[in-house]
Structure 1
């Protein structure tokens, strides 16, 4: 993958937009469960924000991957090859995989009627845990280590 010195404006916008949508989707998950139960009982669901959010997250996550593959990303802070840098790479990969897999699991439950709701919820919780850890470590890098990690996701280069 290509490396750059910073993130582009589109990468920054997509990052923060997906982060906000993920948080809202996570908090609206119970509403989707209730709507799905109504549908299974022969009722109608109406508009379900959680489903709309999931579809938007999937589309934006795919766009994020395509932009990252095309433009690249800066190297993580730390010594190349260190455990810290390797862990950051694995966490980023897991975040990208889950940003795509979780909505696909929801789609398979909501639109295809497959019994994927429990695994969808489990992976959604894993995604949120990784995202919160990612955010906490970015703040730690910015405030304690003062290495400018968080700044890279607030100023386009």
Structure 2
């Protein structure tokens, strides 16, 4: 249920679920080499499944956002902050969709498939380093950009909550925490 000053339950659940999945995917991507070699395939597969979840949920979140107006920002939020927030949100959506979308061909051109548990997919491509290496670089750089933007987004929300005390963060909290 949404109100005049907060997001609805669907938006809140999608927001926090996607945020958690991004942290998990990023953490796995960063630490994959720290796992025993015998675990690499499983860790990569979990990373891929989490990334696919981010992709699907981000598309759902974007569709929801386009069909459900967000609550207005408080009047105390200035024009520059409003513009920055709009740009950051667009970039977050683009990266949340782009990163896993790049990850899929990266995986396939590595000659790997995906194990969904009940079924597996193979790769239709032979291992092609001249394709997957540049894709991997873009995937990684875009991931760092997403984490940086998300960190800035979180810090801005915390600033609004504790410095400005204007209720911006409260708009995206579950009802029990508002």
Q: What TM-score results when the alignment is normalised by the length of structure 2?
A: 0.73
Larger Rg: 2
1:36-115 paired onto structure 2 within 5 Å? 45-46=41-42, 48-77=45-74, 82-113=79-110, 114-115=131-132
**More displaced 10-residue stretch of structure 1: 23-32 or 133-142:** 23-32
Unaligned runs of 5+ in 1: 39-43
Deviation sequence 1:73-122 (CA, Å, 0-9, x none):
12334568711110110000000000000010111101244421000000
Q: What's the Cα RMSD here? A: 2.6
Q: Match of 1:45, SS?
A: helix
Shift, 1:33, TM fit: 7.3
Aligned length: 147
The alignment partner of 1:6 has SS state of: coil
Matched residues in 2 for 1:78 and 1:89: separation?
Answer: 16
Q: Deviations over 1:43-69 (max 9, x none)?
A: x93462111110000000000001111
Q: Secondary structure of the equivalent of 1:75?
A: coil
Q: Partners of 1:56 and 1:15 in 2: how far apart?
A: 13
Partner of 1:137: 156
Greater RCO, CA 8 A, separation 6+: 1
Partner of 2:25: 25
Instruction: Confirm whether residue 14 of structure 1 aligns to residue 11 of structure 2.
Output: no
